[in-house]
Amino acid sequence: MSRPSGHIPVFHSTVLDLLKIQPGNHVLDVTLGLGGHASSFLEANAPDGTLIGLDADTKNLDLAKDRLQIFQERFIGIHANFRELPSCLPDPIDQFDIIFADLGLSSPHIDDASRGFTFRASSSLDMRFDQATGKKASDLLMEESEEELKSIFQNYGEVKNARRLASHIVRERKTASLETSDSFNGLIENIFGYKTPSVLPQIYQALRIAVNDEQGSLAHLLSVLPSLMKPGARAGIISYHSLEDRLVKQAFRMLTTPTKDETTGQVSVPASFSLLTRRPILCDPSEATHNPRARSAVLRGLLRLS
Ligand SMILES: C[S@@+](CC[C@H](N)C(=O)[O-])C[C@H]1O[C@@H](n2cnc3c(N)ncnc32)[C@H](O)[C@@H]1O
């Protein structure tokens, strides 16, 4: 299978082993990215299986469409955020055999400094997956209240001294613009000094999660997931930080826990789902060496029983 250079889908063969895609399967990939996983799914569900792929980012979607055009009408690419499910689907009451999500950002987001995701280059602080809508990271820095900024850095980045950072931003923005990574990194350096290199990733991660409302979108996806799965369907979700994984773990646990009678303790309603992964799948050292982004990846799978 051909891959765009530099792009290795995370957990590539592990995902295929977990999802066990069959010829004819109807697949929904809610984070198409560059179409790496989707391309393998379309090979596995040949000759007549179909795949609908969503991406909030039009640039990635266009790259994926180019790559997947060889599958002709078996592939449909849609520009949508998965928080718009199911209304963004061609048929909103459609159900799938396979549903897959590979959350967060992709390598082009980091490689293209102009997108504002990386603290390693001079850029304007955008960080939106969908550049047609929503507030940029710089808008949050310039407009959000001190309390809101503090909770973004604390909750989404576990940044120590989040309050100090937030109050510094609010003071600084009265006289200076925080539109660029250079100006923001300078402010961070003033507060964190020699600790700056270790907090920069946490601070940028926190802003990115807030800009794209990643937690809200994931909560929505998890709430509609059961109704999008046919009986016998399999779902796999790859997350990259503990906040995401916690949401996935809790949602899967609720779906796979039977209802018990309060007095007898007997199962009154059996669960309609079971776990495909009793324990989360973590990346093995060889994959981490080849693909640094895989280091923090966690894969969980779900099966719809009835
Ligand atoms: C990790 S990449 C997916 C890579 C893909 N599995 C591959 O093999 O190329 C995540 C993709 O999901 C997109 N994305 C992130 N959050 C999204 C959301 N809420 N709705 C739709 N797309 C989203 C990003 O724009 C990015 O292209």
Question: Is residue 193 scored above 80 in pLDDT?
Answer: yes
For residue 263, the domain's CATH number is: 3.40.50.150
Q: Please tell me whether residues 183 and 49 are part of one structural domain.
A: no
Q: Please tell me whether residues 283 and 257 are part of one structural domain.
A: yes
Which of 1, 10, 32, 208 has the most ligand 1 atoms within 8 A of CB, as the residue to mutate? 32
Question: Is residue 138 scored above 60 in pLDDT?
Answer: yes
Q: Please tell me whether residues 238 and 167 are part of one structural domain.
A: no
Residue 8 has a pLDDT of 74
Question: Is residue 2 scored above 80 in pLDDT?
Answer: no
Among 187, 211, 235, give the residue marking a domain's end: 211
Query: Closest ligand 1 atom, CA of 81?
Result: 20
Question: Is residue 30 scored above 70 in pLDDT?
Answer: yes
Digit-coded pLDDT (tens) for 16-28: 999 999 999 999 9
Average pLDDT of span 180-187: 95
Question: Is residue 284 scored above 90 in pLDDT?
Answer: no
Domain that holds residue 24: 12-104+214-304
Average pLDDT of span 247-252: 98
Question: Residue with the nearest Cα to atom 5 of ligand 1?
Answer: 33
Query: Closest ligand 1 atom, CA of 29?
Result: 6
Least confident of 58-62, 121-125, 288-292: 288-292
Among 211, 235, 252, give the residue marking a domain's end: 211
Question: Is residue 176 scored above 60 in pLDDT?
Answer: yes
Q: Please tell me whether residues 196 and 225 are part of one structural domain.
A: no
Average pLDDT of span 269-285: 94
Q: Go through 170-195 and write b for each residue having 16 or more CB atoms within 10 A of its CB, e for each that does not.
A: bebbeeeebbebebbbebbeeebeee
For residue 166, the domain's CATH number is: 1.10.150.170
Question: Among residues of the chain, what percentage have pLDDT more than 90?
Answer: 89
Our answer on whether the CB atom of 54 is closer than 6 Å to any ligand 1 atom is yes
Do 192 and 161 touch, CB atoms closer than 8 A? yes
Name the residue with higher pLDDT: 58 or 286.
58
Digit-coded pLDDT (tens) for 109-120: 988 999 999 999
Measured distance CA(271)–CA(241) in Å, rounded: 28
Question: Is residue 305 scored above 80 in pLDDT?
Answer: yes
On whether residue 6 sits in a domain, the answer given is no
Based on the number of CB atoms within 10 Å of its own CB, is 292 exposed (0-12), middle (13-18) or buried (19 or more)?
Answer: exposed
Our answer on whether the CB atom of 82 is closer than 6 Å to any ligand 1 atom is yes
* Cα 74 to ligand 1 centre (Å): 20
Residue 141 has a pLDDT of 97
On whether residue 2 sits in a domain, the answer given is no
What are the residues facing 99 on neighbouring strands?
28, 235
Our answer on whether the CB atom of 240 is closer than 6 Å to any ligand 1 atom is no
Average pLDDT of span 152-165: 96
Residue 292 has a pLDDT of 77
Question: Is residue 6 scored above 60 in pLDDT?
Answer: no
* Cα 163 to ligand 1 centre (Å): 31
Our answer on whether the CB atom of 31 is closer than 6 Å to any ligand 1 atom is yes
Question: Is residue 4 scored above 60 in pLDDT?
Answer: no
Residue 5 has a pLDDT of 40
On whether residue 141 sits in a domain, the answer given is yes
Among 211, 234, 254, give the residue marking a domain's end: 211
Residue 1 has a pLDDT of 38
Our answer on whether the CB atom of 67 is closer than 6 Å to any ligand 1 atom is no
Our answer on whether the CB atom of 118 is closer than 6 Å to any ligand 1 atom is no
- The whole-chain average pLDDT of the chain stands at 94
Our answer on whether the CB atom of 60 is closer than 6 Å to any ligand 1 atom is yes
Q: Please tell me whether residues 289 and 162 are part of one structural domain.
A: no
Least confident of 146-150, 203-207, 215-219, 260-264: 260-264
Our answer on whether the CB atom of 126 is closer than 6 Å to any ligand 1 atom is no
Task: State the total domains in the chain.
Answer: 2
Q: Please tell me whether residues 99 and 127 are part of one structural domain.
A: no
Question: Is residue 3 scored above 90 in pLDDT?
Answer: no
**pTM here?**
0.95
Q: Please tell me whether residues 205 and 218 are part of one structural domain.
A: no
Our answer on whether the CB atom of 108 is closer than 6 Å to any ligand 1 atom is no
Question: Among residues of the chain, what percentage have pLDDT more than 70?
Answer: 98
Residue 7 has a pLDDT of 63
Name the residue with higher pLDDT: 254 or 291.
254
